[in-house]
A and B are shown apart, each in its own frame.
Chain A
Amino acid sequence: MLKTLSRPFMAKSSGDFARLGVLLALAGLILFGALRYDNFISPFNILSFLRYNSMFALIALGMAFVIITGGIDLSVGGVAAMASVVAAYLSPYGWFPGLAGGMVAGLIAGAINGLIITRMRIQPFIATLAMMLAAYGTALLLANNQSVSVSYDTGFTMIGQDDFLGFPIPAWIAALAYVLGWVFLERHPAGRHVLAIGDGEATANLMGLKVEKTLFAVYALSGLLAGLAGVILASQFGAGQPTEGVGWELFAIASVVVGGTLLTGGSGSVGATLAGALLLAMVFNVLNFENGLGWISLSAYWQSVIRGSFLLVVVVLQARLMKKTEA
């Protein structure tokens, strides 16, 4: 009895603690970089940082919604790769068909995830793991095992490469998505349903919430955002890449968890997820600069080791905090 009563309190306090921590860490890291490296606070570094990391921020947003319901989406990397191929094929017909095509491809994959999870009642990680496989398979089939170059004549590359009012277009897209996501989760009734489902699916069902519909929508949204990230990928690097996206799910999960969202669902915040994504990206930005100084030399292979260690530290901390608040 005591345990059930204390649960919302516990979730809230550990979440708040993590949110404060992630902001402090982010500020500290930026300060460290600004003092240590010459061009860290240069417009070039800031803009390319935002341009490149918008893709990951978008995927992390979708993942946040999925994790808040207590699920997981391991297919985002594969779906983004597939969407990048679709977008590249459609780019000769104009920037809009490219954009829409990639997003629809992502949406379809997400919707299939949602159907398998809600209708066939298969655990999210199995359903999305299978989708990861199927999405990579589809991407490779469509692309004939090669990368597909995009058209440079129709303005498609502007989505990933151009600026608007001094900021990269991908950053605007991500910012818009986060504002919409925040309004939805914090202000819209359906957003509260997402939280309620994560807290207890059976209870939410008894309360008359449309559990299946909401779950379906959450996975469809995650697929849509992964598709959007795939479009940006193709546009930014000039090619649809069927083998890209490996490890993206980990980046997204780590961002969400760093932001204090519990992996067990029921709590979470859109703003903190953004902070988590920025923090994780900033770690790599600082490491790149450190590499440039020549004191250390980290090959690209270190990236995955660091990503993994980062996730490890965060989940262990989260587990510790949960235990402490429980005691």
Chain B
Amino acid sequence: MTTIDTSAPGERAARPNMAQFLSRYGTFAAFILLVLFNLIVTPNFLSWQTLNVNLTQVATIVIVAVGMTLVIATGGIDLSVGSLMAIAGTVAPMIFMGKVLPIENMGILILLSFILPVLLVMAFGWFNGVLVTRFSIQPIIATLVLFIAGRGIAQVATNGNLQVFKNPDFQFIAMGRIAGIPAQVIIMIIVAVLAHCLIRYTVIGRQIIAVGGNEKAARLTGIPVRRVKTFVYIVSGALAGVAGLIVVARNSASDANLVGLGMELDAIAAVAVGGSLLTGGRANIVGTVLGAFVIQLVRYTLLANGVPDAAALIVKAGLIVVAVFIQQRAKA
């Protein structure tokens, strides 16, 4: 294990195997190790409450990371997810508090406050896709535009003010339970299963992988590359929107400055830790879910043991670099 950095010729051949092993089982091993560590060190780890806290917090990361997995599979990246969460999370309360639409019926307002924000951020996702496909702008730059402007739009819409609300019907997506399971956890499971089936069993799923694997070849075989790419940005936008709704519903408040802040990194980290190559051509949804759990568990472990939040940031940064490094080694 300690030989990984030595450059003796005999060990050089062993290196890729080590990386491949880590790439395949590393995430799962890290997850198990984290759980074991917490069982020994963290007080009260084995409780329903701990499980509850971690599941509800990981749900939004998983939902956004699934969209990110699809984008990354095409060889792209979506830095705008956090800002899109802020937009959806800002618009929804404005709708059900009756600030934008002259509708009296509360039921319809609630329904619209689920649908319209998500449609709105899907439009922003489409905009990302257009920049990437029609204007051939690199995904990092194209989505950087909304990364900064998107949060600005949410802040301008509320003038930076906090929106506080109490609306049990709307907040069902975060507070509600179906058969004892938190609603957001159910949404998380549905999203992950659908995405997994999309990648495995549908034409567009295979096309996503093909585009990321070799774009030129994909185009020559008749795959509508532009449409496939635009599609993944729209999906990523939609999932970010859903996550934004969950976050504000959970907090009973919407703060455009904070909703989804730093989510792009959590999502990218989940994808990288989960074993999808950041250069595209692979989409491992199960890995991404596991990656999100590892990231959540790392954060929980640090916080539960009194490590300051700021130090947790540094640990996360290191985790991202190591995970990406291992993926690239495994491929080489």
Q: Is the CB of A315 within 8 A of B156?
A: no
Q: A72-B140, A122-B324, A122-B328 in contact; A145/B310 too (CB < 8 A)?
A: yes
Q: Is the CB of A316 within 8 A of B135?
A: yes
Contact with B along A105-137 (1 / 0, CB 8 A): 000000000001000111101110111011011
Residue of B nearest to A143 (CB): B310
Q: Is the CB of A126 within 8 A of B314?
A: no
Contact with B along A296-314 (1 / 0, CB 8 A): 0001111111111101100
**Bound Cα distance A84, B313 (Å):** 19
**Bound Cα distance A145, B148 (Å):** 23
**Bound Cα distance A149, B321 (Å):** 33
Q: Interface centre among A125, A139, A323, by most B CB within 10 Å?
A: A125
Answer yes or no: B164 CB below 8 A from chain A CBs.
Answer: no
Using Cβ atoms and an 8 Å threshold, which residues of chain A touch B324? 122-123, 126
Using Cβ atoms and an 8 Å threshold, which residues of chain A touch B310? 136-141, 145
Using Cβ atoms and an 8 Å threshold, which residues of chain B touch A312? 131, 145, 149
Answer yes or no: B312 CB below 8 A from chain A CBs.
Answer: yes
Answer yes or no: B286 CB below 8 A from chain A CBs.
Answer: no
Q: Is the CB of B278 within 8 A of A247?
A: no
Residue of B nearest to A299 (CB): B159
Looking at the assembled complex, report how far the CB atom of A131 sits from the nearest CB atom of chain B, in whole angstroms: 7
Q: Is the CB of A315 within 8 A of B77?
A: no
Chain A 216-230 residues near chain B, CB threshold 8 A? none
**Bound Cα distance A122, B317 (Å):** 13
**Bound Cα distance A319, B146 (Å):** 18
Looking at the assembled complex, report how far the CB atom of A55 sits from the nearest CB atom of chain B, in whole angstroms: 18
Answer yes or no: B160 CB below 8 A from chain A CBs.
Answer: yes
Q: Is the CB of B312 within 8 A of A137?
A: yes
**Bound Cα distance A311, B138 (Å):** 13
Q: Is the CB of A129 within 8 A of B268?
A: yes
Where chain A touches its partner, the secondary structure class is: helix
Residue of A nearest to B310 (CB): A140
Residue of B nearest to A319 (CB): B135
**Bound Cα distance A299, B77 (Å):** 31
Contact with A along B292-327 (1 / 0, CB 8 A): 000000000000000011111110111011001100
Residue of A nearest to B146 (CB): A308
**Bound Cα distance A138, B309 (Å):** 11
Answer yes or no: B141 CB below 8 A from chain A CBs.
Answer: yes
Q: Is the CB of A307 within 8 A of B149?
A: yes
Q: Is the CB of A141 within 8 A of B311?
A: yes
Interface size on A, residues (CB 8 A): 46
Using Cβ atoms and an 8 Å threshold, which residues of chain B touch A306? 152
Q: Is the CB of B313 within 8 A of A120?
A: no
Q: A120-B325, A312-B145 in contact; A129/B265 too (CB < 8 A)?
A: yes
Using Cβ atoms and an 8 Å threshold, which residues of chain A touch B312? 137
Contact with A along B132-145 (1 / 0, CB 8 A): 00011110111011
Contact of A130 among B148, B152, B320 (CB under 8 A): B320
Q: A137-B312, A301-B152, A315-B135 in contact; A253/B144 too (CB < 8 A)?
A: yes
Q: A126-B268, A130-B320, A137-B311 in contact; A247/B148 too (CB < 8 A)?
A: yes
**Bound Cα distance A304, B265 (Å):** 20
Answer yes or no: A90 CB below 8 A from chain B CBs.
Answer: no
Using Cβ atoms and an 8 Å threshold, which residues of chain B touch A322? 136
Looking at the assembled complex, report how far the CB atom of A177 sits from the nearest CB atom of chain B, in whole angstroms: 25
Answer yes or no: A25 CB below 8 A from chain B CBs.
Answer: no
Q: Is the CB of A133 within 8 A of B321?
A: no
**Bound Cα distance A121, B325 (Å):** 8
**Bound Cα distance A247, B261 (Å):** 13
Using Cβ atoms and an 8 Å threshold, which residues of chain B touch A323? 136
Q: A120-B325, A126-B324, A137-B312 in contact; A311/B144 too (CB < 8 A)?
A: yes
Answer yes or no: B198 CB below 8 A from chain A CBs.
Answer: no
Using Cβ atoms and an 8 Å threshold, which residues of chain A touch B328? 120-122
Shortest beta-carbon contacts, A-B, top 6: A308-B149, A137-B313, A304-B152, A140-B310, A301-B155, A305-B152
B interface residues (Cβ-Cβ under 8 A, vs A): 77, 131, 135-138, 140-142, 144-153, 155-156, 159-160, 262, 265, 268, 272, 278-279, 308-314, 316-318, 320-321, 324-325, 328
Can you name 12 A-B pairs with beta carbons within 8 Å?
A120-B321, A122-B324, A130-B265, A133-B262, A134-B318, A138-B310, A138-B314, A253-B141, A302-B152, A304-B151, A308-B146, A315-B131
